[in-house]
Structure 1
């Protein structure tokens, strides 16, 4: 019987650096902070402009808080966490947390934001069924699947004046300047950026979601956050020359 040979994942390529504006589109408060915020801190330090667009306010994310009470708490935590990594613009679409539907409405909302912000780089979260390659990995949520897939599609929609002509009528001219869509948390990452310059602020940024974290785990919040983020960055660094890193799957357009 032949032995199974495990293949070493390929090295991660450096993320492109020749861009000035990015738009990060995710489903919930905290989605960007679970690893991606360290990269965003590094980018804003370099003078790049990053804006956040969230499909929901995360109102269904804390079991002990009614959605009406939870939404303003999580919105405030998201704005505080964004500020830590140099992001001033945080927008919410008010789709319902937990039941976001992929479709024309979601694509239109994201395309409108892309036309407003005119990013060269669009960032989103893993849109595939699981969080690890191969069968049996942790299952992803419907919200992440819907928003990630709609973001990939909306990057093209934003540049086509005939797909959503109502946006042009509203004064949002087509923007065909998106050069890449970068998917964080992907099961098939291709690129990375060093986490070292922004890791401490990435940790602080996730800690801003204290109400969510305290409901999620009994572990000390700072211990939990530091262990989680440094662990991911270190493991990613194994494919990036030993440098702690944030990984992305990069789609060129």
Structure 2
């Protein structure tokens, strides 16, 4: 496990859900890249005419805070209007074939209502499209003819954040400061403060059976045979 690709809908999604875990992967020697589907133009921030540039810059700064290697942005997908399409599947499959990750991190394709009011529908759409990109799109050279110049790639592991049924709780207590630094980079966005996030990830740790005082992020992990 030397390369990972995180695929999310918006700037800040990876940081809210998995930055503490990503920091641990980086510390272990893994090269982590981000693929962000939209430019976050439906999020908060001023001036509105510069919101895409602001949010892209924020995501790059957040990636630097945890040591992620590269941040790629897709074009042509509107914040708040992402749907599972063949184009999106192809674009994610292209990134998979280029990065050739041993681990792919993305949102759960199952929409839930218990984490932050409600999971954004863009999250579930990207999670489903990424799942299709893992199999069959990236692994089968005949699915997308316009990717014929890129060798197929099979992703051994898929990690879903925001899952209604997580089976892995990662203790992020020792990397929580870097998670907070990544969240703080998203200056235009609400909900990035220490108190509320400490409470949130302490509650996740408690659900996972970790001792009092610990903080955790939760995932469903699929290991392909």
| TM-score, with length taken from structure 1 | 0.81
1:4-19 map, 5 Å: 19=1
| Residue of structure 1 in register with 2:140 after alignment | 160
- The equivalent of 1:247 in structure 2 is 218
User: Who is 1:86 aligned against?
Assistant: 67
Superposed counterparts of 1:16-31, under 5 Å: 19-31=1-13
Q: What is the CA distance between 1:64 and its match in structure 2?
A: 5.0
Structure 2 residue ranges without an equivalent (≥5): none
1:36 counterpart residue number: 18
Distance 1:173 1:51 in 2: 19
TM-score by length of 2: 0.91
Structure 2 residue 153 is the aligned partner of structure 1 residue 172? no
Following superposition, the deviation at residue 127 of structure 1 comes to 2.6
Q: In 2, Cα distance between the equivalents of 1:207 and 1:72?
A: 17
Residue 88 of structure 1, CA deviation: 2.2
Secondary structure, aligned partner of 2:110 = coil
| CA-to-aligned-CA distance 1:50-100 (integer Å, 9 cap, x gap) | 10000011011126542x410000000000000000012000002111111
8 Å Cα contact 1:35-1:202 kept in structure 2:
no
- Out of 151, 160, 165, the residue aligned to residue 183 of structure 1 is 160
User: Could you tell me whether the CA contact under 8 Å between 1:186 and 1:249 is conserved in 2?
Assistant: yes
Equivalent residue in structure 2 for 1:119, among 73, 85, 101: 101
Displacement, 1:163? 0.7
RMSD, aligned α-carbons: 1.8
Alpha-carbon distance, 1:235 to partner: 1.7
Give the SS at the match of 2:179: helix
**Structure of greater Rg:** 1
